[in-house]
Amino acid sequence: MKYFILQLPGQFLFVLIMLLIRQWAEFPAYLTWGLIVFWVGKDVFLFPFLWRFYHPNYYPDRFRMVGRKGFTLSRLDPGGYVRVRGERWRADAIEGHAPIDKGESIRVEAIDGLKLKVKAYSEDGLR
**pLDDT tens, the chain, 127 aa long:** 777 788 889 899 999 998 898 888 888 889 989 999 999 899 889 888 887 777 766 666 666 888 999 999 999 988 999 999 899 999 999 887 788 999 999 999 998 888 999 999 887 655 5
pLDDT for 13 equals 94
Give pLDDT tens digits for 80-105.
999 998 999 999 998 877 889 999 99
Pairing of β 105-112 and β 87-93 = unpaired
Residues 102, 55: Cα–Cα separation, whole Å: 38
User: Residue 117 and residue 79: Cα distance in Å, rounded?
Assistant: 9
